[in-house]
């Protein structure tokens, strides 16, 4: 019986691998999806090339087609690129009053986002926030921020006609210090296109107040253009993060990938509407799903992987509970250990155990011993693997010889197997409610 189960198990663990052709044909669809999502061509190309390399040879989960498996790999890689490792998460607004500078093109959503962020800081982080409009170009711009401020209950710097942006910024700083504010947000003017004057204005303000955060607000629907804008702003002013607005629209968010890939700047927030609470922290998983537009497939593959893992674990547990820990199981454990770099590698992954593993070196199980032990199991017959207690002295000799080792080596392995089988049986009993019964006594 255990032999038959063992056979099933073997089949489950041996999965196919993705061939170059599998990957290439799936990538054609991925490429279309990326371009439809407004990912810029060079970024899409570069991304696909990198993923192709990664995906070829990767394992295919049972009950999933190679194409579906590729989609899942692409999805995971999208998340990885969108996330980055250096993402700071929340805004850095220590050392009150912390200046936050908002920059971007006209109509990108700077003023709206300034107010949304102020509201978030006030309600979520309990910060005292002051907002100031430096937009001296558009007559109604300052009033717009003032009205939003009243609406969300956040103070705005009193409007003084005729001041230049740097003067207003300095006045905001003074007011923020005197008034005990945690943060002061500076909403700058924008143009339809980047020009010298606009950049110079923002640079002057930057030099005057040294912002803790300089957030670039970009229309998420503009795709390709957004990236050029971001690159330019970052070169000239220095940007610490990006806010993508209009992510509530029809666009599929490809700008996020292009932005991240080309500028390397973290996307901090996304705007999801005109309302004051339509602002969320950037979630790579969500945006990745939107860019690829293949959420069903990703979910399917994830489900298949989970089912497979659960089945494997359950099958193994059941057998262990019955005391069926045979040589094939032992071999699997040994191979697992080998993958993790032997006993030393395994222990170095556990916090505080690295040193101990070093001391054990030589005495511990290293890669060469693992190899020997696996070789010993390999030179047993199927029946012997299932029932090692049947081994006769003559067979032991032959097995050891087959692996190029001594009988004493084989005896050590058999002893280890008995100990492990014993342990598994005990653990299995505990799992069947033994522990609960103990606790109730």
Binding site for ligand GDP (CB under 6 A): 104, 106-112, 190, 245-246, 248, 271-274, 278
Q: Is 6 annotated as a binding residue?
A: no
CB nearer Mg ion, residue 2 or residue 245: 245
Q: How far apart are CA 31 and CA 254, in angstroms?
A: 12
HEC string of 283-312 equals CHHHHHHHHHCCHHHHHHHHHHHHHHHHHH
CB nearer ligand GDP, residue 2 or residue 108: 108
Q: Segment near Mg ion (CB under 5 A), from 103-111, 147-155, 327-335, 406-414?
A: 103-111
CB nearer ligand GDP, residue 268 or residue 331: 268
Q: What is the DSSP letter of 214?
A: E
* CB distance 65 to 19 below 8 Å: no
CB nearer ligand GDP, residue 46 or residue 106: 106
Q: Segment near Mg ion (CB under 5 A), from 94-102, 110-118, 147-155, 417-425?
A: 110-118
* CB distance 186 to 225 below 8 Å: no
111 is a contact residue toward Mg ion (CB under 5 A): yes
* Percent helix / strand / coil, the chain, rounded to 5: 60, 10, 30
Q: Is 162 annotated as a binding residue?
A: no
Total of residues contacting Mg ion (CB under 5 A)? 2
Q: What is the DSSP letter of 431?
A: I
Q: Is 108 annotated as a binding residue?
A: yes
Out of ligand GDP, Mg ion, none, which partner does residue 112 contact, by CB within 5 to 8 A per kind? ligand GDP
Question: CB nearest ligand GDP: which residue?
Answer: 271
To Mg ion, the closest distance from the beta carbon of 143 in angstroms equals 11
Out of Mg ion, ligand GDP, none, which partner does residue 107 contact, by CB within 5 to 8 A per kind? ligand GDP
To ligand GDP, the closest distance from the beta carbon of 111 in angstroms equals 3
CB nearer ligand GDP, residue 72 or residue 206: 206
Q: Is 189 annotated as a binding residue?
A: yes
Closest C-alpha to 102, from 201, 10, 187: 187
* CB distance 123 to 140 below 8 Å: no
β-bridge partners, 290: none
Closest C-alpha to 415, from 367, 373, 380: 373
Q: Is 246 annotated as a binding residue?
A: yes
Packing angle of the helix pair 110-125, 141-152 (nearest 10 deg):
20
Binding site residue list for GTP: 104-111, 187-191, 245-248
Residues that bind Mg ion (CB under 5 A): 110-111
């Amino acid at each position: 019986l255990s032999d038959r189960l063992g056979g099933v198990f073997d089949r489950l663990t041996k999965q196919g691998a993705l061939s170059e052709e599998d990957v290439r044909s799936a990538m054609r669809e991925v490429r279309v999806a990326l371009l439809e999502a407004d990912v810029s061509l060079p970024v899409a190309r570069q991304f696909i090339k990198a993923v192709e390399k990664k995906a070829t040879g990767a394992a295919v989960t049972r009950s999933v087609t190679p194409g579906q498996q590729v989609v899942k790999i692409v999805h995971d890689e999208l998340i990885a690129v969108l996330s980055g490792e250096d993402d700071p998460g929340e805004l850095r607004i220590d050392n009150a009053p912390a200046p936050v500078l908002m920059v971007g093109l006209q109509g990108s959503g700077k003023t709206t986002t300034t107010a949304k962020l102020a509201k978030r800081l006030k309600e979520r982080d309990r910060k005292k926030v002051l907002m100031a409009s430096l937009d001296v170009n558009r007559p109604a711009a300052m009033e717009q921020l003032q009205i939003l401020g009243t609406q969300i209950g956040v103070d705005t710097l009193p409007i003084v006609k005729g001041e230049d942006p740097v003067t207003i910024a300095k006045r905001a700083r003074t007011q923020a210090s005197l008034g005990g504010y945690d943060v002061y947000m500076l909403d700058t003017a924008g143009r339809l296109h980047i020009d010298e004057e606009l950049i110079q204005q923002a640079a002057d303000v930057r030099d005057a107040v040294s912002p803790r955060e300089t957030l670039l607000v970009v229309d998420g629907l503009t795709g390709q253009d957004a990236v050029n804008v971001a690159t330019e702003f970052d070169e000239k002013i220095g940007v610490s993060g990006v806010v993508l607005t209009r992510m509530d629209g029809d666009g599929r968010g490809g700008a996020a990938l292009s932005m991240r890939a080309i500028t390397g700047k973290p996307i901090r927030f996304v705007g999801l509407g005109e309302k004051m609470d339509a602002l969320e922290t950037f979630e790579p998983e969500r945006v990745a799903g939107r860019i690829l537009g293949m959420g069903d497939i990703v979910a399917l593959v994830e489900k298949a992987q989970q089912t497979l893992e659960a089945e494997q674990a359950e099958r193994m547990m059941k057998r262990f509970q019955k005391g069926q820990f045979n040589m094939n199981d032992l071999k699997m454990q040994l191979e697992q250990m080998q993958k993790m770099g032997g006993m030393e590698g395994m222990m170095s992954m556990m916090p505080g155990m690295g040193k101990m593993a070093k001391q054990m070196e030589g005495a511990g199980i290293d890669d060469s011993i693992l190899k020997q032990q696996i070789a010993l199991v390999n030179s047993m017959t199927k029946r012997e693997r299932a029932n090692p207690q049947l081994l006769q002295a003559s067979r032991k000799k032959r097995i050891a010889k087959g692996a190029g080792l001594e009988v004493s080596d084989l005896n050590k392995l058999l002893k280890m197997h008995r100990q492990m089988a014993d342990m598994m049986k005990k653990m299995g009993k505990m799992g069947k409610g033994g522990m609960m019964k103990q606790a109730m006594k």
